Amino acid sequence: MKKAYVHGYDPRENIRLQDQASTLVELLHSDTAYPPGSRVLEAGCGVGAQTIALAGNSPRALITSVDISPSSVAEAARTAAEAGLSNVHFQQADIFSLPFGPDSFDHIFVCFVLEHLPKPVEALLALKKVLRAGGTITVIEGDHGSAYFHPDSEAARRAIQCQVQLQRRAGGNANVGRELYPLLCEAGYGSVRVSPRMVYVDASKPGLVDGFIKKTFTAMIEGVRQSALEAGIAEEREFAEGIRDLYRTAEVDGVFCYTFFKAIGLKPAQ
Ligand SMILES: C[S@@+](CC[C@H](N)C(=O)[O-])C[C@H]1O[C@@H](n2cnc3c(N)ncnc32)[C@H](O)[C@@H]1O
């Protein structure tokens, strides 16, 4: 039986993550720049799709990027070397047993990771241990409940729900974006601020039509086809109709909206 769908472990999915990152760099990264010499932990770096923007915007910060998957870390290191980045150190590590002492970092950056974790608050607590008091955590997540489009389509909405259900069965939460404020508060971060970042796409933005509607969002939903059929939560013909209708929103009269959530919290002094 095919392994349950998890972002970032097959070549097609890796290409999708890279496409997603390059399409969303301005929207998600433009206000994140860390001071020279600051120690930054990127937790769950995957294949390095965000690392490029992160390190590029903070060229003199000292970035440590970790992921639980050794093959992803190796690929991230290759990508960073090809991009000529010299301020990132890559290391295999599990967020829940980080090989760093207390106060090892001034800032932490986490993107599209909590959505996969059954216990996101515990992950945020584990990260807080290695953050110094007064340091910041930045968390970015999507929320599939925020996807709406024209022409509307029941089949497309059902195809999206397949992804939501599969992620839930795997212990994750594809709608976690809306929960960032309560999650960070529960983990004991202070001064939490969340800013929604809407991607609005119509035909006047051909880069986003291709990069977001087609190569990011629809590619992701299309990627769960086999798992959804095997899990018996989709029927082949209807799923295909849903995917066709998602691509339909990329046509000249189509419109697509999706909201990411970016949260920043501070580790309070004890
Ligand atoms: C969807 S990918 C996101 C990767 C990257 N942040 C990005 O935005 O392209 C989620 C990543 O979280 C990693 N991950 C999941 N659980 C983890 C854990 N306990 N510790 C470290 N990394 C973890 C996965 O291996 C995967 O690479």
* pLDDT, block means (10 residues), the chain with 270 residues: 49 66 85 98 97 96 98 97 96 98 98 98 98 98 98 98 98 98 98 97 93 95 97 97 98 98 95
Ligand 1 site, residue 263, Cβ cutoff 6 A:
no
What is the pLDDT at residue 3? 40
Task: Using the mean position of ligand 1's atoms as its centre, give its distance from the Cα of residue 109 in Å.
Answer: 12
Ligand 1 site, residue 261, Cβ cutoff 6 A:
no
Ligand 1 site, residue 65, Cβ cutoff 6 A:
no
Ligand 1 site, residue 45, Cβ cutoff 6 A:
yes
What is the pLDDT at residue 1? 32
Cα(132)–Cα(109) distance, integer angstroms:
14
Ligand 1 site, residue 49, Cβ cutoff 6 A:
yes
Of 118, 52, 113, 117, whose CA–CA distance to 86 is shortest? 52
Cα(72)–Cα(66) distance, integer angstroms:
9
Cα(142)–Cα(250) distance, integer angstroms:
20
Query: Under a CB-based contact definition with an 8 Å cutoff, are residues 137 and 194 in contact?
Result: no
Q: Where are the beta strands (DSSP E) in 142-189?
A: 148-150
Task: Using the mean position of ligand 1's atoms as its centre, give its distance from the Cα of residue 113 in Å.
Answer: 5
Token couple for 260 = 């990411």
Helix (H, G, I), strand (E, B) or coil at 240: helix
Task: Using the mean position of ligand 1's atoms as its centre, give its distance from the Cα of residue 44 in Å.
Answer: 4
Measured in degrees and rounded to the nearest 5, phi and psi for residue 38 equal -75, 150
Measured in degrees and rounded to the nearest 5, phi and psi for residue 94 equal -100, 130
Task: Using the mean position of ligand 1's atoms as its centre, give its distance from the Cα of residue 172 in Å.
Answer: 12
Token couple for 108 = 């932490």
What is the pLDDT at residue 2? 36
Cα(234)–Cα(149) distance, integer angstroms:
21
